[in-house]
Structure 1
Amino acid sequence: MSVTDMTRRHFLKAGSLTLGACMTGGIVPAAAAAADAKATVFFTRDLSAAGLCRMYERVAHALSGKVAVKLHTGEPNGPNILPRDWVKTLLPHVPQATIVECNVLYPSPRQTTEGHRETLRLNGWDFCPVDIMDAEGDARLPVKGGKWIKELAVGKHLLNYDSMLVLTHFKGHVMGGFGGSLKNISIGCASGKTGKEQLHREGEQLWAGGPHFMERMVEGGKAIVDHFGPRMAYINVLRNLSVDCDCAGTGAAPATAPDIGILASTDLLAIDQASVDLVYAQPERYRHDLVERIESRKGLRQLSAMRELKMGNDKYKLISID
């Protein structure tokens, strides 16, 4: 196993992904060691069901009781959603697991529970139970320290679960710049009518983007993180890296960046930071489109806002399990 401390600064300086031996030197005072504490993010290049299961094993200790598996099940026939056979292989390893989703706000069959269930069947999510958490309404979770939102309307059924495994197809996003674990739990757990409008509305304007949208999205994620506490684990799958989210369905732009691998962590900020860093570490000709999408939407504000709300650590060790 090889270990490298990877920060965004290191990635941009190196210009490419290198997993090597961690450099050490001398005795570090206890106070300095605490200040330099890093989260752990695991990495594999093995983009397969077996690779996904190996990554889950690294973070499974955080989960107990009834586990909500939050993933994006996609618009009808979406080309980039997570392979169903991977998830089918993973779920038997996750005790008391149920895939969870919420209805959507934008025009889609998934606006209604009936249309959402039909889309689940069409997309092949018929091998396991899928709980549409807002099918019976909302529950309110407090947003501690929120500037824009004081409480978030989430799918009511979220309260039925003890832990959450956040299984995310990392990609670009038309409003967020990128969609990682933060987007998956924030917009993904917000109820279709009320919660998602809370996140997308600024004053009279619906679908307001920019830095304030990133801040609202982070505040929504804060409600979920505070609710589950340490009983959360995150997996980001960096494949089919379109500039568009899976909510774009068949209209998603083709991926122009190469597939990278799978990340896993129990730290929300660290895993999204590492995912962004891996994108920036690609050669310019591969990263250009996705980086342009991230920066034109002010997507990096997701990371700084999570840091401000103490939702994790942007300093991390990237540990290869290959």
Structure 2
Amino acid sequence: MEKSKVFFTDLHTTPSSNLLDKMERLCRRAGIAGLDFSNPFTAIKIHFGEPGNLAYIRPNYAARMANLLRSLGAKPFLTDYNTLYSGRRSNAVDHLRSAMENGFNPISAQCDVIIGDGLKGTDYKEIEINQEYCRTAKIGTAIADADVIVTMNHFKGHEQAGFGGALKNLGMGCASVGGKLELHSASSPRIEEANCKGCNICVKHCAHDAIHLNDRHIAQIDYGKCVGCGQCVALCQYDAAQLGEGDTSERLNYKIAEYSLAVLQDKPQFHISFIMNVSPECDCWNHNDAAIVPDLGMAASLDPVALDMACADLVMNAPLIPGSRLAEEYPHEHLEDVDKFACLHPDTNWRAGLEHAEKIGLGTRDYELIKV
């Protein structure tokens, strides 16, 4: 397979070229103007960020993207999808308020905002893909009905997938609540009782009232209520909540790749990732820890697999920031040329997802990095 082109720009600016100008120039060099906008409804898939988290992409970039797309003949809209877990983005009313608070509104982002799977996450289309893990994919209607797909991805760590990039934004990010349930359907978290401190954090944050402390002050899961969203595993600081038997990061990443295929098949597409504020975990949390590497730049491609691979390589080759979580865990190492995401989340395997994405025809991991 021929190498895919990934275009990259650093964050150096001049009085005549600010970061918004550089982003637009990067997008044009990467081929956004060559997309077919004859059918104009263009979804800009972005993560609005959980209120309290400040690592998400600034709405200024979304505004420039929306204006660029309009200049090319598109009818763009910003979109994100309701969450499976607790928080302020689990229904469209709270989700829209959260987006507005974070600057994603027609004034700041200069674009209308649509919660793509409706009020309660039940507005979706079932798209047939006939893949190894998913026969169909439950994709939010706004994305399913869109003519063109553009992703704006904050590249950072992720506690279940390894990292979050273009595929995570597509596959998990565009799934309806029912689709997210399917993606997590193999998840049956368990409690390692010897590790449980009875801190109650998993109980407080379970959106489905599936965890309680028993009479010994040990967390106990009610599997009649548990949907396997994995929030307890991500929250537990004592390694008491753990992935269940047969539930793996590989399987989740395989499904994410297949859901990404459902989103993108037969549609013009473009992807840009922001390798800034590379926090250890997802923007779904209401907080963000210190970045693990310096802000590196922006990368764009027509190939989401190549883009994710290039971003991962850039982070792996970057030095650690002193005082970050990884720097504290590895005080005598620089971790350059080391898989920092595997160091952050040892039970994850992001490579498996990219391998599967390549296998099913989403793109290639073999890329040429072109500096703009």
**Which TM class, normalised by the smaller chain length?**
0.7 to 0.9
Q: Which residue of 1 aligns with 2:165?
A: 180
Counterpart among 35, 42, 49 of residue 62 in structure 1: 35
- Matched pairs, number: 281
Deviation at residue 294 of structure 1 after TM alignment: 5.6
Q: Which residue of 2 aligns with 1:239?
A: 276
Distance in 2 between residues matched to 1:159 and 1:218, nearest whole Å: 16
Give 1 or 2 for the bigger CA radius of gyration.
Answer: 2
Distance in 2 between residues matched to 1:294 and 1:204, nearest whole Å: 19
Deviation at residue 188 of structure 1 after TM alignment: 0.8
Task: Report Cα offsets for 1:238-288 as digits up to 9, x if no partner.
Answer: 0001111111231x2211211111111101111111111111222462656
More deviation in 154-163 or 210-219?
154-163
Distance in 1 between residues matched to 2:265 and 2:250, nearest whole Å: 22
Distance in 1 between residues matched to 2:79 and 2:135, nearest whole Å: 24
The amino acid that maps onto 1:79 is L
Q: Which residue of 2 aligns with 1:113?
A: 92
Aligned pairs (5 A) from 1:124-273:
124-126=103-105, 127=107, 128-135=111-118, 137-144=123-130, 146-191=131-176, 193-202=177-186, 206=228, 207=230, 208-228=247-267, 231-250=268-287, 252-273=288-309
Contact 1:99 1:131 in 2 (8 A): yes
Distance in 2 between residues matched to 1:51 and 1:124, nearest whole Å: 21
Distance in 1 between residues matched to 2:342 and 2:334, nearest whole Å: 11
RMSD: 1.9
Aligned pairs (5 A) from 1:70-85:
70-85=45-60
> Which has the bigger relative contact order, CA under 8 A and spacing at least 6?
1
The amino acid that maps onto 2:31 is V
Deviation at residue 293 of structure 1 after TM alignment: 2.7
Q: Percent identity?
A: 26
The amino acid that maps onto 2:128 is P
Deviation at residue 218 of structure 1 after TM alignment: 1.1
Aligned structure 1 segments of 4 or more residues deviating by more than 4 angstroms: 286-289
Q: 1:63–1:249: structure 2 CA closer, same or farther, 3 Å change rule?
A: farther
The amino acid that maps onto 2:369 is L
Deviation at residue 204 of structure 1 after TM alignment: 5.1
Contact 2:155 2:164 in 1 (8 A): yes
**Structure number with higher helix proportion:** 1
Q: 1:226–1:168: structure 2 CA closer, same or farther, 3 Å change rule?
A: same
Q: Which residue of 2 aligns with 1:16?
A: none
Deviation at residue 315 of structure 1 after TM alignment: 1.1
Distance in 1 between residues matched to 2:11 and 2:270, nearest whole Å: 19
Contact 1:200 1:209 in 2 (8 A): no
When normalised by structure 2's length, the TM-score is 0.71
Q: Which residue of 2 aligns with 1:18?
A: none
Q: Which residue of 1 aligns with 2:216?
A: none
Distance in 2 between residues matched to 1:224 and 1:154, nearest whole Å: 7
Partner of 1:107, secondary structure, is coil
Contact 1:38 1:313 in 2 (8 A): yes
The amino acid that maps onto 2:55 is N
Q: Unaligned 5+ residue runs, structure 1?
A: 1-34
More deviation in 233-242 or 306-315?
306-315
Distance in 2 between residues matched to 1:51 and 1:291, nearest whole Å: 31
Q: Which residue of 2 aligns with 1:104?
A: 83
When normalised by structure 1's length, the TM-score is 0.82
Deviation at residue 291 of structure 1 after TM alignment: 4.4
Deviation at residue 210 of structure 1 after TM alignment: 1.7
Deviation at residue 38 of structure 1 after TM alignment: 1.1
Counterpart among 35, 42, 47 of residue 7 in structure 2: 42
The amino acid that maps onto 2:156 is K
Distance in 1 between residues matched to 2:53 and 2:128, nearest whole Å: 33
The amino acid that maps onto 2:298 is I
Deviation at residue 158 of structure 1 after TM alignment: 2.1
Q: 1:133–1:318: structure 2 CA closer, same or farther, 3 Å change rule?
A: same
More deviation in 97-106 or 53-62?
53-62
